Structure 1
Amino acid sequence: MRSFLLALSCACLLPVAAAQDVVPPPLPVAAAAAKEFLTAAKGVVDAAQRPATAWKGPRNGPRAQREKRVAVVAEDLHNGGILGVIDGVLEAARVIGWHVKVFDSRGTADLRLKMLANALSSHPDGLIIAGGDAHALLPALGPFAERNIPIVGWHVAAQAGPVPGTPVAMNVSSNPLEVARVTALAAIVQSGGRAGVVIFTDSSFQIAREKAEAMAAVVRACSGCTLLEVRDMAISRCQELMPGATRALLARYGKRWTYALAINDIYFDYAAPVLTQVGLPNAAMAMLSAGDGSESAFLRIRTGTFQTGTVAEPLNLQGWQLVDELNRLFAGENVTGYESPVHLVTADNFAEDGGDRLFYDPANGYRDIYRRIWQSP
């Protein structure tokens, strides 16, 4: 499987001009290569759909640093992923004994800076950023660093771990490039290698740009698939723009558009109603998201309403991880660097690991493990 992913990465990074200069192989060879590609893709997708494995995160660490005041600055509480993470933070905070205050930026640049300033004025012991871009927020994060207020974030950079060049000590996330690749491969497998794809992204965030580029590269590597368009649309303006964009794309591509991929489920919250209104059958369009596994996404998958997959983050678990990482910083210790495994939710595995409650919650005992680390009841 590792060799397949390496080969796929190489194929995806082949320059367009070079790809055009390559003489196509004879038809039987091309057909065999396409079959091999599809078989390997199915192996990756099947592995991503397996139930949650045993806990591979930290098992040791500092006991609870109690009575801390923590500010949480959310990019947009209308985003189901962000809301799920904050629910996890609040749940963990009750266990560890912290006081949490949430500030909502509502997806706008001006409010991001204002909410960070308000968070600083609340005199927190620590800061959690839920969504956003750590580098874009850097000017507003400086005053926190100057006051030695530790900072952790969720989906604030393209990779999990410390964010270089910023005071963010830990970005909690799955591997976004693997999330993107699994999403695109799932579309390829579901289509039998014949997907006509439109990708939705928000170029104002580095993590979103890199996810979209990774999905596009995988689609291009599929000889029978067509990348119709990469549509750049601000997540904060989905409600306003997505209905019109969906109608325009249907008019432009017609039956050629069979798969919609997105860097976040929220795009489909506003696309699915339009598809229903125009009378498109559920089987005519499949939607798959490279994050985050929102409640509405789970509902669409359960009911078979266009969406056929989401690479769901373990949002509640990641909320607990944010609290644990911050607790380690309060205690003067290093962060764990733990990265959540990639997990694809489809109709086949929907009921496992929390799906019956409309979110992905791994049954790996993480709550009890963190309680033992913190020595909290």
Structure 2
Amino acid sequence: MRGLLLAWSCVCVLSVAAAQGMPTAPLPGTTVAAKDYLAEAKRVVDVAAQPAAPWNGPRNGPRAQPGKRVAIVAEDLRNGGIVGVVDGVLEAAKVIGWSVRIFDSGGTPDLRLKMLANALASHPDGLIIVGGDARALLPGLRPFAERSIPIVGWHVAAQPGPVPGTPVAMNVETDPLEVARVTALAAIVQSGGHAGVVIFTDSNFRIAQTKADEMAAVVRECSGCTLLEVHDVAISRSQELMPGATRTLLARYGKRWTHALAVNDIYFDYAAPVLTQAGMPSAAMAMLSAGDGSESAFLRIRAGTFQTGTVAEPLNLHGWQLVDEMNRLFAGRGVTDYMVPVHLVTAENIAADGGDRLLYDPADGYRDIYRRIWQRP
């Protein structure tokens, strides 16, 4: 059984390596030594931590369709990832010549459909959803589809691309499965294959549950690691719930808990102070997040305060991509299949690609490329 487990572990690692464009070797038989598994995991993590690759996204497309009015419905503007994407949309919209109105759901279920109704009442030419779950929002999205108003979103489904069964033409995100795998593998590498892991997720969102499930699977595949618990905490209530949850988990697991993984950096905003109050040295607990690369996460990584990594998404770039995808729909064209490669931010690389500004902003010239596509100065 142990040999089979290790074989599956290597398959998982190699699948991530292939997704990252890294050459892989065939399996030398049906079992793989733990040290070989760790070596492969380290290779994958090292590739994900490299500086941003040259631009491999679209270089052609329709020119700007100016004068459009676009509504943004944000899941919760207290979330740094959502704010970063909205800022990117606003920056790109100014370049392309659109007006934008923002509607904030505040992370409140009762407000989500109301904000969509308010957005519809503003008579937009297009709708951008930032956060939320496209299928859960479907009753509020149908009126947009009935009026032939194009819809794109960020983190609104478990996979990038068009969202089946909904009118969302494009869900922009980094592949959540690869984000989750790299996050979990980084924890395993840092622990030398002996991590005691608690995973924080929000089961209200498909993408969050997808990430958590994948991280849990990777941890289980590590023969020397222990998955202590998957803890469900609503992101919108993290400020309220995380301090108590952290104290409970510390009491339950003690020194067995060495690594905290989460689907979003915001959980650590409220867990880290509890660890400090408990007198825990930063070296005793490592926090790694499968998104989104918030300012506070960058500060913790830079200071060496518990958090050792975040698989940061290029939030500003994703905002520009949302505008480009919408522009293609306005022009009667199809969306792209562009997906930004996974990038792990650590203390070693935090100064590169926007890290000095506390964000991941790839130095690949994407702004100038989109300007050329849109034929805008």
The bucket for the TM-score relative to the shorter chain is: over 0.9
Please list, as runs of the form range in 1=range in 2, the aligned pairs for 1:59-138 lying within 5 A after superposition: 59-138=59-138
AA at the equivalent of 1:213: D
Counterpart of 1:310 in structure 2 is 310
Counterpart of 1:7 in structure 2 is 11
Structure 2 residue runs without a partner (length 5+): 1-6, 16-29
- Asked whether the 8 Å contact 2:70–2:128 carries over to 1, the reply is yes
User: How far apart, in 1, do the equivalents of 2:375 and 2:48 lie?
Assistant: 33
Counterpart of 2:212 in structure 1 is 212
Counterpart of 1:15 in structure 2 is none
Give aligned pairs, total.
358
Counterpart of 1:16 in structure 2 is none
User: How far apart, in 1, do the equivalents of 2:9 and 2:68 lie?
Assistant: 44
User: How far apart, in 1, do the equivalents of 2:131 and 2:186 lie?
Assistant: 25
Q: Deviations over 1:12-62 (max 9, x none)?
A: xxxxxxxxxxxxxxxxx98x6111110010010000000001101000000
Counterpart of 1:41 in structure 2 is 41
Counterpart of 1:171 in structure 2 is 171
Task: Give RMSD over aligned pairs.
Answer: 1.7
Counterpart of 2:22 in structure 1 is none
Counterpart of 2:18 in structure 1 is none
User: How far apart, in 1, do the equivalents of 2:265 and 2:290 lie?
Assistant: 8
Counterpart of 1:269 in structure 2 is 269
What is the deviation of 1:340? Answer: 1.0
Describe the SS at the equivalent of 1:77: coil
User: How far apart, in 1, do the equivalents of 2:275 and 2:80 lie?
Assistant: 21
- Asked whether the 8 Å contact 1:179–1:311 carries over to 2, the reply is yes
User: How far apart, in 2, do the equivalents of 1:257 and 1:54 lie?
Assistant: 38
AA at the equivalent of 1:286: A
Describe the SS at the equivalent of 2:94: helix
Q: Deviations over 1:112-149 (max 9, x none)?
A: 01100000000000000000100110011000000000
User: How far apart, in 2, do the equivalents of 1:352 and 1:366 lie?
Assistant: 16
User: How far apart, in 1, do the equivalents of 2:216 and 2:280 lie?
Assistant: 25
User: How far apart, in 2, do the equivalents of 1:149 and 1:312 lie?
Assistant: 31
In structure 2, relative to structure 1, the CA distance for the partners of 1:9 and 1:364 (3 Å cut) is closer
* TM-score normalised by the chain length of structure 1: 0.93
- Asked whether the 8 Å contact 2:9–2:37 carries over to 1, the reply is no
Q: Deviations over 1:213-246 (max 9, x none)?
A: 1000000000110000000110000000000000
AA at the equivalent of 1:352: A
| Runs of 4+ residues deviating >6 angstroms | 3-6
What is the deviation of 1:108? Answer: 1.0
User: How far apart, in 1, do the equivalents of 2:12 and 2:55 lie?
Assistant: 29
User: How far apart, in 1, do the equivalents of 2:10 and 2:360 lie?
Assistant: 28
Describe the SS at the equivalent of 2:308: strand
Describe the SS at the equivalent of 2:33: helix
In structure 2, relative to structure 1, the CA distance for the partners of 1:50 and 1:272 (3 Å cut) is same
- Asked whether the 8 Å contact 1:162–1:337 carries over to 2, the reply is no
Describe the SS at the equivalent of 1:344: coil
* TM-score normalised by the chain length of structure 2: 0.93
- Asked whether the 8 Å contact 2:8–2:221 carries over to 1, the reply is no
Describe the SS at the equivalent of 1:153: strand
Counterpart of 1:344 in structure 2 is 344
What is the deviation of 1:325? Answer: 0.2
What is the deviation of 1:5? Answer: 7.9
AA at the equivalent of 2:75: E
Describe the SS at the equivalent of 2:101: strand
- Asked whether the 8 Å contact 1:292–1:313 carries over to 2, the reply is yes
AA at the equivalent of 2:65: Q
Counterpart of 2:225 in structure 1 is 225
User: How far apart, in 1, do the equivalents of 2:99 and 2:132 lie?
Assistant: 23
Counterpart of 1:322 in structure 2 is 322
- Asked whether the 8 Å contact 1:4–1:40 carries over to 2, the reply is no
Structure 1 residue runs without a partner (length 5+): 12-28
